[in-house]
Structure 1
Amino acid sequence: MRDDHLNALIGKLDLAQKVRLLTGGSFWSTPAEPTIGLGEMALADGPSGVRGVLWDDDDPSACLPSPTAVAASWDVDRAARVGQVLAAEARRKGVHVVLAPTVNLHRSPLGGRHFECWSEDPLLTARMAAEVVRGLQDNGVAATVKHYVANDAETDRRHVDVRVDERTLREVYLAPFEYLVRNAGVWMAMAAYNSVNGTTMTEHGLLNDPLRSEWGFDGAVVSDWRATRSTVAAGRAGLDLAMPGPDGPWGATLEEAVRAGTVDEADIDAKVGNMLRLAARVGALSFLDSDPSAAEPVVPAAAVTVAADGAELREAARDGMVLVRNDGLLPVDPAQVHTVAVIGELAAQPRVQGGGSAQVRAPYTVSILDGVRDALDGLAEVRHVHGCHLDDGLPEIPIDRMRAADGAAVVRVRWLRADETLLEEEHRTSTHLVRWETDVPVGAAAVELSATFIADRAGSWDVGFTGAGTFTFSVDGNIVLDGEVVSERADAAMQMLGPPHWSTDFDLDRNQPTEVVLRHEIGGLGVSIGLGVRPPRRSAEAEMEAAVTAARDADLAIVVVGTTEQVESEGYDRQDLRLPARQDELVRRVAAENPRTVVVVNSGAPVEMPWRGGVAAILLGWFGGQEMGNAVADILLGAAEPGGRLPTTWPGRLDDAPVFNTTPVNGRLDYDEGVHIGYRAWLRAGGEPAYPFGHGLGYTTWELTGVDAPPEVRGDEAPSSDDPILTVAASVHNSGKRAGKQVVQVYLARPSSAIDRPVRWLAGFAVARAGAGETAAVEVTLHRRAFEHWDTEQRRWAVEPGRFDVLVGFSATDIHGTTSVDLLAHTSADE
């Protein structure tokens, strides 16, 4: 969109109208301005799906594998398809802006939100996330790169002051953002909650320099929700949109600041221009200028070609699953097993997505138990036991166990005025209800949620609800709670996204109808409540013994272990890497009974596996999306290759990890390790993790049969840091008996460097696929930035001329070929 046309539209607005466009019109949308043909823009959370502006079971969303799982594919084409699926979902739901991708890094394995990020390496993160951006924006949906910047942990995230030196900031934490701006042209960036070096990010100079001035970002900068803390300081900074709305620190106060001269109206005009440019790109601006050349048509007329169907999500899930150990058990021949024990609560109810704002309501979920049963239908008997109790909240009441008075499955919602009269009533198919403040019916003071469920077995049931605040809860007309439920989470938004659970015991008979009614006084950010029940369970010891017995009698034992939402979620970091409850004991005891034991790990980030040497196989399933169960079954039974390689290092013990601090001291979190995070820190310390960055096994074997790179290259042959500087040609031979996939990883090292460098760092990668006995050739392009470092004295990118080692292998520690290149006289792009 031409600047003169933008300026003409801005000129039609008075100051109040302009300022109004800089705060959300609601919790999830921007305001319209009919004067200039501007419609509302809907923003919705990603990145594991597109929730839409209303979190409702009547409008479910495709649930994709978590970004960590997609990153584990190391396949940029896979990431592009994920972006296209998100675009298809966004357009179906009327969403203009998807709040993804998250390109913060796995600095510490304790980070609670790592499932939503990509990896510990800035290049892998940047390359994969850039394709998601392209997949979205090529289809007319804006991507939002977040959280700018250094929001790499959750502890005190709203107020923590991250202290990081300039070189580390540039080379590590800003690097993915730069790549997405320069190479993918991302249309929106989100300013984080945290401070960096003493200044909160919504007021930070980094929003202009380097984001706009150096990188050329021409999109809009949005705050994280309620991250804008000031009128004048934020108004002067590069922030364009304060979310949510319609209330906030701007509005009339910002208008007064402009009239008082403390904020320049030119800054306001620039912000409005950025918002209008975004609106034009996503089709929310109908141009009033009669000149057809005034606008650049960017919204494609054609529909998105990649659909959010089960086959696509299944393939995405298995392409990122990582086989880290295999003593020859996998793949299992279905014809050779007659009895299979599937063990673990997570086998029947896997975590297919992480906790927090990334959650969506999936149309269905295939459990690992169901996936294995379907794959072995007619071939083997599949038995399931829990093995141990995770106590991960209170399950929702299944729809097939509910009924209304007329026999239909229904949940009733009654919105009540302050005088208890009925305002509105609706019927739903789920006991889960979320309404952000602007979506609550005007005039509602309380909400009543009720359902009748039928117990399918006799015994002591847990009956209760989720939510924080003031409640009255009754069971069959008897009030069992009249008071307040307090959340341990101080963050009000996280109370909405992960509310606490409350329950009590009831003895119920089989087929007994039980009416549950929950009344909630509305306050805070809105309503987030639900009704739940848990059926009778065996004692902990009886459950463990049942698992042991099932394993002893089976030809194959599949144990599913993982984290819970109380352990791994947005809003807080992990305290350790141990599996919760008695899962470690469960694995040990099952493996002691059955040597044919495979463990599937259902987590979004590393966990300790002290039993890893005592089981035959370990598959990392991540948070695999709604098709997770089918994908796991495909891999275990050999219908598909485990396509993943680790995007982050897995330590054997937390204490072994070189970098793991996420807890601020006196409000500060110091990144003292500099550029040495992840595998770089491990290599520098000389430690040995359980499984290194880039590691992963397939069902075939590979040999690196050739590496070729030019002996020397001139740095000034590439005018920009984004330009290619050399190509490494590699050939890999599939020496096994079946087709497979390998990820060729190219690392650089600088012997005898005059500056502090990593032992080696990832410079490029490519996926190779070949049939049995075949050789695949790949070319890995290295850009000049891979050789550069940030010169803090000159405040520019520079290259240290001389010899760079080029190391080619299958992980950060599994190097199979080495060559070198001499980098000759270099001219910086900034000179």
Structure 2
Amino acid sequence: MSDTHAAFNDTTNPELEAEINAIIEELSLEEKVWMMNGHGFFEVFFGEDQKQFGRRAYEAGSGCERLGIPPLYFTDGPRGVRHSEAATSFPVSMARGATWDPDLERRIGEVIGTEARAIGATLSGAVCVNLLRHPAWGRAQETYGEDPYLLGELGAALSEGIQRHNVIATVKHFALNSVENSRFEVNVRVSERAMREVYLPHFKRIIESGCASVMSAYNKVNGDYCGHNTHLLREILKDEWGFNGFVHSDWVKGAYGPDAAQAGLDIENPDVIFFGDHLIKAVEKGEVTQEAVDDAIRRILRTQFTFARASDPRDYAKADVACTAHTDLAREVAEKSFVLLKNDGLLPLNKSEVKTIACFGKLMDLQNLGDRGSSCNTPPYAVTLKQGLEAYVGTDVKLEFFDGDDLEAARKLAASADACLIAAGYTWENEGEYIPGNEAMEGLDSKEKMESRGGDRADLRLLPSDEALISAVCEENSKTLVSIMAGSAVIMEDWKAKPEAIMMIWYPGMEGGHAFARAVFGDVNPGGKLPFGIPKRAEDLPFFDAFALEIDYDLYHGYSHLAKVNAEPAFPFGFGLSYTRFSYANARKVTSDEQIAFEIDVTNIGDRTGDEIVQGYVGFENTQIDRPAFLLKRFERVTLAPGETATIRFELTANDLAYYDETAGRWAVEDIEYSMRIGSDSVTAQDHILPFRLEEIGN
């Protein structure tokens, strides 16, 4: 990221501000309001035979032909650039959350920025960081997990990568958007403290990293739609956080009247509905101030000019889109995202020992890239699991595939194989952005009934047909790997003891099949870790109703909720196995410059090179207020050869200990003894606990 972008939300350029003020003086009210809307979307959308979102970059605000100011052009994400032309399709964001690798995510951002520029886009909606409050949430796959710290680090990295190529990154959906089916209506009731500690920190981290635009959410927060929420948009985002960029609405139902401009919504996208003439009249009547309109124009132009005038690090051409370097990165991301949950010696398979492999499940030969909502993009090809396996083994291993429903035939095939591979899980029809049938724009002029698709999951278990297949195959051959394609947690208690291996492979992107084969046969050592915890029972999770019109959010969800209710997870937050083993030893506090850091030695004690993700949690066991038992505050992914040791060092600040004092209206830090917990996941971190006090870490 350039210095210009890094400083975007810290300072303003006096010369640029003077230039913008002069433009504002010259613009008519009609021209200003024009710049506060997207334009042409409906005309283009309904003029296309397929009537699909995102088939081109759309005008999404700004633009004054008289003064030679071009509009902004928007492309969606986060799997890659969304366009009718083929583009690189990465694994979904949840898979990338499982890599715990900000440097890798920054490289993904650079690809998205490069390809966006190549197709003429200047505004990207790829940075989706809504917190996974409950695994049933349909759009879980579009975010990075359940922890605000992890979300913030990865979202900031993606934003920085995109903006390095002078594409304005949008972080979305601001805020508290964690239910899909009722997203247009639900009112989220939340205390100021829970909002500040759980649902906003990752947005603040990304804004502080330089992210220059924000998309408001559809839902309400404490009674006000997010696009009309003065507390969120003006008081917190713009005034308190010092955000200098602009806020635009989510598509179509992101605003409900011109008063949104007064609340802090700068652009209504994708087209004129409630701004336009309605906003002009509201200004003329004094219902919306001229100052609010001018502030919106100032923010739009400040952002647009800053990026448009920055030096490009390279040239951009159509040949950049889905080029070999980018598709190679898609494969690397998939390889680093796989999470090995169980392995009783089955993996990796050895081609010299395993001569017949039986492969089961319809997902084996399906291009299963994720949902088909706004995050969907079009790769030039996509390698299925079946294709990846066939390409990898060639004639060395006999592969047999069965995707039918005849369980007796499945049993017979399993019994004859040296090993079995099952692909189980979901598709875009089971989870994803909720597309409500004929109510969706794609069906407004359809005479035939269109079924709703995607949305929140009704059940956290696999489909009954998948569970029946797993049981049938494993009864005949326990040497079975169950590979799960899903966007969040799957409850496995009814069958997890049956196969010898289980691996989360997510929706693995265009190169997923190749990556899968390399992981199964050991060319790749799985190093991903769960970006959420998997419960044993749905009853152990917070309340969730996909069609709720009112819902309360508190301080607890995910691993903090499981700890509070004393529910043992099936697989804890941060969990993931490897084909090698790691030992943790010599946890210690190290003093330097009168402050302490926390160190631990991590050694690869196995016989394969592998990646370990070392996690640091702050414990609040001595708190005098209601707060989680522990929270993730640091992590590092490290590659170690057999016998190699790395010393991992974590440093903390007072901000890592703070809670939001609602009575005082500010952040505060308790004067108590805390602990630093370091380990390979949220449970094993409790094996290495280092007590400390506030004065030891300084400010």
Q: Could you state the TM-score of these two structures normalised by the residue count of structure 2?
A: 0.89
Structure 1, 334-343 or 170-179: larger mean CA deviation: 334-343
Measured after TM superposition, the shift of residue 226 of structure 1 is: 2.0
What residue identity is the alignment partner of 2:335?
R
Structure whose residues are more often strand by fraction: 1
Aligned to 2:585: 705
Deviations 1:83-110 (A, max 9, x none): 1121122112111111121111110111
Find the partner of 2:558 among 657, 670, 678: 678
Alignment check: 8 A CA contact 1:12 1:36 kept: no
What residue identity is the alignment partner of 1:97?
L
Q: Secondary structure at the match of 2:69?
A: coil
Aligned to 1:18: 32
Alignment check: 8 A CA contact 1:46 1:99 kept: yes
Alignment check: 8 A CA contact 2:371 2:427 kept: no
**1:544 is aligned to 2:407:** yes
Find the partner of 2:668 among 798, 815, 823: 798
Structure 1 pair 95–726 and aligned structure 2 pair: CA distance change class (3 A): farther
Unaligned runs of 5+ in 2: 1-12, 42-57, 435-454
CA distance in 2, matches of 1:229, 1:311: 40
Measured after TM superposition, the shift of residue 782 of structure 1 is: 2.6
CA distance in 2, matches of 1:689, 1:751: 20
Aligned to 1:177: 203
**1:631 is aligned to 2:524:** no
Aligned to 2:397: 380
Measured after TM superposition, the shift of residue 142 of structure 1 is: 1.3
Unaligned runs of 5+ in 1: 284-295, 389-542, 715-724
Measured after TM superposition, the shift of residue 713 of structure 1 is: 10
Deviations 1:397-423 (A, max 9, x none): xxxxxxxxxxxxxxxxxxxxxxxxxxx
Find the partner of 1:775 among 620, 633, 645: 645
Find the partner of 2:358 among 333, 341, 345: 341
Deviations 1:34-86 (A, max 9, x none): 2332112211110001113xxx3xx1121101010001011111111111121
**1:808 is aligned to 2:691:** no
**1:599 is aligned to 2:625:** no
Measured after TM superposition, the shift of residue 825 of structure 1 is: 9.8
Deviations 1:333-372 (A, max 9, x none): 1111111111110001042222311111121110101111
Structure 1 pair 568–726 and aligned structure 2 pair: CA distance change class (3 A): farther
Aligned to 2:568: 688
Instruction: Name the count of aligned residue pairs.
Output: 641
Structure 1 pair 712–107 and aligned structure 2 pair: CA distance change class (3 A): farther
Measured after TM superposition, the shift of residue 566 of structure 1 is: 2.5
Structure 1 pair 694–663 and aligned structure 2 pair: CA distance change class (3 A): same
Measured after TM superposition, the shift of residue 221 of structure 1 is: 0.2
**1:198 is aligned to 2:223:** yes
Q: Secondary structure at the match of 2:128?
A: coil
Deviations 1:229-259 (A, max 9, x none): 44342121111000111x2111112112212
Deviations 1:257-292 (A, max 9, x none): 212222111111110111112221342xxxxxxxxx
Aligned to 1:729: 599
Alignment check: 8 A CA contact 1:732 1:777 kept: yes
**1:819 is aligned to 2:690:** yes
Alignment check: 8 A CA contact 2:604 2:641 kept: yes
Aligned to 2:310: 297
CA distance in 1, matches of 2:500, 2:67: 65
Deviations 1:542-563 (A, max 9, x none): x322222221111111000011
Alignment check: 8 A CA contact 1:110 1:577 kept: yes
Measured after TM superposition, the shift of residue 383 of structure 1 is: 0.9
Q: Secondary structure at the match of 2:63?
A: coil
Aligned to 1:160: 186
Measured after TM superposition, the shift of residue 754 of structure 1 is: 1.2
Q: Secondary structure at the match of 2:688?
A: strand
Aligned to 1:786: 656
Structure 1, 806-815 or 564-573: larger mean CA deviation: 564-573
CA distance in 2, matches of 1:726, 1:120: 29
What residue identity is the alignment partner of 1:749?
G
What residue identity is the alignment partner of 1:209?
E
**1:659 is aligned to 2:659:** no
What residue identity is the alignment partner of 1:225?
W
Alignment check: 8 A CA contact 1:112 1:568 kept: yes
**1:258 is aligned to 2:283:** yes
Say which one has the larger Rg: 1
Measured after TM superposition, the shift of residue 762 of structure 1 is: 0.6
Q: Secondary structure at the match of 2:420?
A: strand
Find the partner of 2:292 among 250, 267, 272: 267
Find the partner of 2:125 among 99, 124, 131: 99
Deviations 1:660-696 (A, max 9, x none): 413465x21111xx21111011111111121110000
Aligned to 2:74: 43
Aligned to 1:126: 152
What residue identity is the alignment partner of 1:50?
V
CA distance in 2, matches of 1:172, 1:3: 35
Aligned to 1:668: 550
What residue identity is the alignment partner of 1:8?
A
What residue identity is the alignment partner of 1:575?
A
Deviations 1:610-629 (A, max 9, x none): 21111110110001101111
Aligned to 1:323: 340
Q: Secondary structure at the match of 2:612?
A: strand
Measured after TM superposition, the shift of residue 707 of structure 1 is: 2.1
Deviations 1:554-600 (A, max 9, x none): 11110000113222111121111122241101001101111211111
CA distance in 1, matches of 2:656, 2:596: 10
Report the identity percentage.
33
What residue identity is the alignment partner of 2:221?
V
CA distance in 1, matches of 2:176, 2:252: 18
Structure 1 pair 115–228 and aligned structure 2 pair: CA distance change class (3 A): closer
Aligned to 2:613: 743
What residue identity is the alignment partner of 1:669?
I
Aligned to 1:575: 458
Structure 1 pair 255–679 and aligned structure 2 pair: CA distance change class (3 A): same
CA distance in 1, matches of 2:544, 2:64: 47
CA distance in 2, matches of 1:585, 1:233: 54
Alignment check: 8 A CA contact 2:590 2:599 kept: no
Measured after TM superposition, the shift of residue 299 of structure 1 is: 4.2
Measured after TM superposition, the shift of residue 712 of structure 1 is: 11
CA distance in 1, matches of 2:499, 2:430: 24
Aligned to 2:90: 64
**1:280 is aligned to 2:318:** no
CA distance in 2, matches of 1:696, 1:826: 30
Structure whose residues are more often helix by fraction: 2
**1:587 is aligned to 2:587:** no
What residue identity is the alignment partner of 1:51?
R
Structure 1 pair 10–307 and aligned structure 2 pair: CA distance change class (3 A): farther
Q: Secondary structure at the match of 1:309?
A: helix
Q: Secondary structure at the match of 1:146?
A: strand
Structure 1 pair 343–580 and aligned structure 2 pair: CA distance change class (3 A): same
Measured after TM superposition, the shift of residue 311 of structure 1 is: 1.6
CA distance in 2, matches of 1:117, 1:713: 38
Structure 1, 555-564 or 273-282: larger mean CA deviation: 273-282
Aligned to 2:213: 188
CA distance in 1, matches of 2:646, 2:254: 51
Structure 1 pair 350–297 and aligned structure 2 pair: CA distance change class (3 A): closer
CA distance in 2, matches of 1:350, 1:598: 20
Q: Secondary structure at the match of 2:239?
A: coil
What residue identity is the alignment partner of 1:649?
G
Runs of 4+ in structure 1 displaced over 6 angstroms? 304-307, 711-714, 825-828
CA distance in 2, matches of 1:233, 1:16: 17
What does residue range 144-155 of structure 1 map to in structure 2 within 5 Å? Answer: 144-155=170-181
Structure 1, 260-269 or 158-167: larger mean CA deviation: 260-269
Alignment check: 8 A CA contact 1:185 1:217 kept: no
Deviations 1:610-649 (A, max 9, x none): 2111111011000110111111111100001112000011
Measured after TM superposition, the shift of residue 797 of structure 1 is: 0.9
What residue identity is the alignment partner of 1:211?
L
Q: Secondary structure at the match of 1:577?
A: coil
**1:29 is aligned to 2:59:** yes
Q: Could you state the TM-score of these two structures normalised by the residue count of structure 1?
A: 0.75
Alignment check: 8 A CA contact 1:733 1:774 kept: yes
